[in-house]
Structure 1
Amino acid sequence: MSTDFLLPQFDPVKPLGRLLIQLEREGLLQDVNRICTEGNVLIEEVFSRSRRAHIARARHRLWLWLHVEKGWSYPAIGDRFDRDHTTIMSGVRAAAQDLGVPAPTGRTRRAA
């Protein structure tokens, strides 16, 4: 799946545009796009401040994926989403419960 169609619409001067360009450089944009597609939300919505339930669920699943699969710390995720690390912890627990998987406990090792 190509993500080329996503980037031209984002202004690299604005925070969201810079974040998406950074995610593409890290090779994560395709996975972020997949999670957004599975949640039936736009990539802009998952990075927004919206509290609508379907958007929040997709955002929480993205946080869970970043924490468990990529080894990102809660503060690192919080920095990217402009949220406090405790908000990220709560969202990760909610996503784990929603998916019926055990919630992560303790620290994860940062991916090399």
Structure 2
Amino acid sequence: MGFLGKKRLPNMPEINIIKKENDRMQTELRHLSGEDITTLNYKELMILEEALENGISSLKAKQMEFVPMMREHNEMLEDENRGLQFKLRQMHLDPMDDHNMLENGDVYDQ
């Protein structure tokens, strides 16, 4: 028994339409990957070229957004590193300072 108590038989025309659409999409994906393009005519090749160029442009735009974000992240990490190095130097200057105590009360070993 199906979910609603009735078994639904597959609709053959519907299945055929879905299979054809799946085949078309797989062919298009192969074309975008550079496979099986020898069967394409000039117009189809031009459409494919335009789609690929649009994809490249989109990727380059995303890449250009990514670079400043990574620079900012890198600067933040460098600032944090400088702060940690400063704290470490302070700990070495005054080994008996309370800052050398770990959270559980143990003394930081140098």
Q: TM-score range by the shorter chain?
A: under 0.3
Greater C-alpha Rg: 2
Higher relative contact order (CA 8 A, sep 6+): 1
Query: TM-score, structure 2 length as denominator?
Result: 0.21
Query: TM-score, structure 1 length as denominator?
Result: 0.21
Structure with the higher fraction of residues in helix conformation: 2
